[in-house]
Each structure stands twice: as structure tokens, then as C-alpha cells.
A = this chain, B = another copy of it.
Amino acid sequence: MKKVATTQDEGGLASATARRTVAPMPSVRPTRRAVTVASTIYRDLRSEIVSLKRKPGEPIAEKQIAEAYGVSRTPVREAVLKLADEGLIEIFPQSGTFVSRIPLDALPEAFAIRKALEEATVRYAAERATRSQIAMLRANLELQREMQETANYQGFHQADETFHALVAEIAGYPGFWTLIQQTKVQIDRYRLLTLPVRGRIAEVIAEHTAIVEALAANDAVAAIMALDAHLDDLQISVDDVRASYPRYFTAPGDPA
């Protein structure tokens, strides 16, 4: 039944087995999950989906991707499964794999989660922020203004994300931002689809500035209020959008 490596196996079964019964105790482990083909494909695919380069509802052909990368389907599958866990890809067994439609009815909840998590970060940050950390935030604000002046929308978005990450780091809980990013994905796709780089940058910077001032004053309440104002501006108007891109969304109450 089982043909192991053709060589002699030591007859005593119990005695020989214990090769590594116990764990690798804390030593300098090299790299955990190094850059592998699967991780590369994962990153690429994710980026293409979030940037809407791959449209919601579009089929995903594992074989084709595998050929494009010159690899087998195994690493592709690993990436696809991971994306399916994140809700960016939907797998219908024996039918096909597709880029997820944006679950409109789940967006308000995702937004509420983001709000809850970010409020916590600004509260902690207001309590703990040091002068040097406030200075880092101000430096980031300056960067945002530069991006505005040079009309570098891509760069502004990057700086915007860094701003929120910084707040979480100042709060002492960088993991908050990691989690926020995960829950934010569908919202990002939605916003990218609905408002094509609206000129709201000036307002966003003003709102960011208000948050920083509140943090600098160690005023948690004011910081939360400023954050709420910031987030509410990004709020969602689910209504009439579905009409324009009906096939990009799942109807409320349809599939979960």
C-alpha cells in the first residue's frame, strides 16, 4: 500500500520514528513564508481586483493565469483560495471562479466596523501621542499637501493610507490598521467605482489636520469627533449607483 523511499526502513516501528518530536525553540528563524510564486500571484491578482482592472463578475481562468506566469495551477489555486477567503473572489464549484461582485448590503456593516476600529485608534492615540509622533503626523500632512499641489492622486492616496496607519501605530496598536485594511477592501472598490478622483482632496486634508490638532492637544473627544466628520464624508449613498453598474453588485438579500 504504502511504498516509501525504497530503502530499508528500520524494523522497529516505534523506536525509530521520533525525528523531531518537539518544536524549533526560539532561534533566529530565517524567513517564514518567503517570497514564493503563490504569494506573488496573490499580490498581483489582489491588486488587479482592488484596482478594478478586473471587473466584478469577471471570470477567472486558473489555467490561463498559470500559463501567463509559466507555472502550474497549484500556486495559482493557492492564491485564488486566499482571495476567496477575503471575499474578493467567488468560487462556484464545478462551474467557475469569478471576481466578486461588490456586496452592497454588506457595505454599511463594513463601514461601521471601520468606524469602530478607527475611533478606538484615535482615542488611544490621543492619550499616548508624544511630541515626536505628532511631528511625524504633521510631516505626513505636509506630504499630502505636496501631492495635492502636484496633482499626484496616486501619491495622495498612498499618503492618506499612511496617515491612518500612523495613527494606529501611535495608538500602540498597529494591528488595528491591518484589520481595517482588510475590512475596507469592498468599500475601496465601491468608492473607486463611484467617485472617479473627485476633487475632495482639500477637504480631506483639512479633516486630517483637525484630527492631528486634537491629538496634539490630547483631546480624545475632539479627535473622535473630527474622525467621525472625516468618515461621514466618505459615507455611502447606496441608492442610485446600482442603476449605473447593475452587474457589478449583488442585490440586498440575494446571496450572502
Residues of chain B contacted by A247 (CB below 8 angstroms): 22-23, 25
- In the assembled complex, A109 has its CB within 8 A of some CB on chain B: yes
Say which residue of B34, B67, B95, B119 sits within 8 Å of A24 (CB atoms): B95
- Give a binary string over A104-116; 1 marks a CB under 8 Å from any B CB, 0 the rest: 0010011011011
Q: With the chains together, A57 CA to B22 CA distance in Å?
A: 7
Question: Given the interface contacts A23-B247, A33-B84, A57-B22, does A113 sit within 8 Å of B255 by beta carbon?
Answer: no
Q: Which residues of A, 52-75, contact B by the 8 Å Cβ criterion?
A: 56-59, 67
Smallest CB separation, A12 vs chain B (Å): 17
Counting chain B CB atoms within 10 Å of each CB, the highest count among A32, A85, A91, A101 belongs to A32
Q: With the chains together, A124 CA to B25 CA distance in Å?
A: 45
Q: With the chains together, A110 CA to B56 CA distance in Å?
A: 33
- Give a binary string over A21-38; 1 marks a CB under 8 Å from any B CB, 0 the rest: 111111001011110100
Question: What are 28 A-B pairs at a CB distance below 8 A?
Answer: A2-B67, A20-B59, A22-B57, A22-B58, A22-B247, A23-B59, A23-B101, A24-B98, A26-B251, A31-B93, A32-B90, A32-B255, A33-B84, A33-B91, A36-B93, A78-B81, A81-B81, A81-B82, A82-B85, A110-B175, A112-B120, A112-B124, A112-B176, A113-B117, A113-B173, A116-B120, A117-B117, A179-B183
